[in-house]
Amino acid sequence: MTHATKGIVLKAVKYGETSVIASIYTELFGVQSYMVKGVRQTTKKSYGKAGLFQPGAILQMEVYHNELKHLQFIKEYGWAYLYDKVFFDVVRNAVAMYVIELLQHSLKEPEANPELFYLIEDTLKQLDRGSELLVANLPLYFTLHLGGELGFQLQGAFSKQTPVLDLQEGMFMAEAPMHPFHISGETASYASRISNIQFYNDLETISMPRLQRRELLESLQQYFALHVAGFGTLRSLEILQEVLS
């Protein structure tokens, strides 16, 4: 029995002479590993198929699924959304690679979460279509909202009474905690504003200085490291910081 599902490619590695094994976040089954046979053949029929398995690609697939197996198979696949800019624009591609690496470090279980899938899909589509300002703010938006989907959404809001964001507790506080994992001032204020944004277009109302964007991105990496076991560090963050500067 096969299932129709959309999927977002997280990673693909070569297997044998002509195949790949792809890690894909699917709408129906969460993170799954798929064997894709013959995709790297140099025949006319296979030409261009390997490009469908670039990280960030949004696919429509017909798949075989067996819960008892770690490796699944794809029967049919094609583009669910064909990017105009993401694979060709340096800044947008850097944001996409950040989003994908953040997911690789954060998704530990192969369970389905349709709301999370739609967040990822919508974010990547907005990345392709959005203005430069929206694109610059998108990594912060996605990181904060991903935390919410994973169960550690920021609590409270920045104010004169609660000007400190405790990264360990994920909460805005009246005073700085004893531990070093906290931010305050404008950086905490931007975290609060972006965390409460519900519509992508509202990201165009936030013009953030480079220093605050850099500091907040680094702080959110720390935030995830505190809340996701074995999170590590993001290699793509340095590249993202460079292209957004």
CB 127 within 8 A of CB 96: yes
CB 65 within 8 A of CB 106: no
Tens of pLDDT, residues 188-242 = 999 999 999 999 999 999 999 999 999 999 999 999 999 999 999 999 999 999 9
Tens of pLDDT, residues 62-121 = 999 998 899 999 999 999 999 999 999 999 999 999 999 999 999 988 889 999 999 999
**pTM reported for the whole predicted model:** 0.94
Tens of pLDDT, residues 35-59 = 998 776 666 555 567 789 999 999 9
Q: Which domains does the chain have, with CATH numbers?
A: 1-82 (2.40.50.140), 84-245 (1.20.1440.120)
